[in-house]
Structure 1
Amino acid sequence: MGPKLRPEASSCVISLAHGTPAVILACRAILSDPARDFNSPNTPLQSLVLDYSIAYFLMDLVHYLIFYPSDILFIGHHLATLFVFVTCRYVVYHGAFAILVLLILAEVTSLCQNVWTLASARRSDLKFAAKVYDFLSPPFYALYSVVRGFLGPYFVYRMFAFYLSGAADRVIPKWVWMSWVLIVVTAISVSILWISNLWIEFYRERERKIEKKVK
């Protein structure tokens, strides 16, 4: 692997160490909480998962500031995500249920996405990587589309409706939950745009391959 690809590969490895374990821990933290409401107090296990995710995003943020300082979009994403986690964990001490469900929806595709990213980076010079990329692309795109295009927006709608009712105003100030909703809606919108572009490119490549076979 060349020097240019090592920082990207390192970021993927860091993400792999966080993504799937975070999903498992978040699921356990949610299921062990009898309240499971948008304004319920954070349990010790939920707080631990938030700390774990904060550590990951801080580490990956430093990585990007060192190796990709011009990647404003990704750096902004990490800063916004850290704002959500930190305010939930250390400012309001409530709402971890909602934040951890969003974490699960964000990271459930992590394993597949990181393997796909590594394969994409090496597919031009490694046949095995090209095969892995071609094999993973359709299921990864489909899973990502369902999670970010349907499940995510539906959950955010429920979250917004609950907070808008004022039921959480006593423990979660309006400026906090409004910031959460704005950040999550923006992140989901960018994700939908990203996966839409990947689907477009996927079908373009498919058409080019069909045209080559016909010729």
Structure 2
Amino acid sequence: MEPLTPPIPILPIFFSMFLLIYLVAYYIVFRSWSPKYRPEASSCFISLAHGTPAVFLAIFAILKQSPHGFASPNTSSQSLVLDFSIAYFLMDLLHYLIFFPSDVLFIGHHLATLFVLFTCRYMVLHGAFAMLILLILAEITSACQNLWTLANVRRADVPSAAKLYRLLSPPFYTLYSVVRGFAGPLFVYKMVVFYSSGAADNVIPRWILVSWMIIIAVAISVSILWVSNLWLELYRERTAKVDKKVR
């Protein structure tokens, strides 16, 4: 049977890795960008370094666990993935506290996400199966979203960025809508049914379960609202272009 905890404390190593990636992005990769855009671009860069690798790591950790379920103990592989994501969110939280301290929504999102990941990893030592499924659903759009964000940042002054932004918008919005609007809520519903039955009360305190469900439900609701606004904006842009051609 796979050990339940990694043999070495890997979290500081992962955090140092994301810090280094951020610094490389800020001072080398985006050194020619305006200081106004470099912090956001660097944040996207570490998100790229986290998102897609986290999906594959999570899939591997889930497949390696047998049997698995919502109340299963965390395995070593799952704990490693949780540490990987905790380190990323800590680094990105530091980024927001330094450069965008007034962005309460993102700071609150990161703190809430860290609470869920940290309690799963270090307090209850159970439930990583559910957390990693949610991580996959959250990060499967990461690569597309970060490229879209970078293009959005520069579309006003770089024609190729504007073209990429227009090209990526419809498929990104569609994929995000499917994942966050349908797959995510369906999986969360299954979690609620299981945890509300009391089947995990002997390994995960009820107050932590309730906290998880509230945080996850709010996060998905905000995501749905966000992508809905993007669809409306795209519709307005396309409608405005059609009206302009007609005139």
**TM-score if structure 1 supplies the norm length?**
0.99
2:84 matches 1:86 = no
Give the CA deviation at 1:17: 0.6
For the pair 1:25 / 2:57, whether they are aligned, the reply is yes
Question: Does residue 208 of the first structure (1) align with residue 240 of the second (2)?
Answer: yes
Look up the equivalent residue of 2:72 and give its one-letter code.
S
Q: Distance in 1 between matches of 2:211 and 2:172?
A: 30
Structure 1 residue 44 and structure 2 residue 70: aligned?
Answer: no
Aligned mates of 2:116, 2:122 — CA distance in 1 = 10
Say which SS state the counterpart of residue 42 (structure 1) adopts.
coil
* Structure 2 unmatched runs, 5+: 1-32
Distance 2:182 2:68 in 1: 21
Alignment gaps of 5+ in structure 1: none
Aligned pair partner of 2:177 in 138, 145, 149: 145
Q: Please name the residue that 2:154 is paired with.
A: 122
The match for 2:102 among 64, 70, 80 is 70
Give the 5 Å matches for 1:148-187: 148-187=180-219
Letter aligned with residue 75 of structure 1: I
Pick one of 223, 226, 242 that aligns with 1:191: 223
Deviations 1:17-70 (A, max 9, x none): 100000000010011111220000000000000000000000000000000000
* Aligned twin of 1:7: 39
CA deviations over 1:190-214 (Å, ceiling 9, x no partner): 0000000000000000001111111
User: Who is 2:20 aligned against?
Assistant: none
Percent identity over the alignment? 71
Q: Which has the higher contact order (CA 8 A, sep 6+)?
A: 1
Q: Which amino acid aligns with 2:71?
A: N
Shift of 1:6: 0.5
Q: Give the superposition deviation at 1:135.
A: 0.4
Q: 1:170 Cα deviation (Å)?
A: 0.4
CA distance in 1, matches of 2:162, 2:78: 39
Provide TM-score, normalisation by structure 2: 0.86
Alignment match, 2:135: 103
Alignment partners' CA distance in 2, 1:12 and 1:187: 19
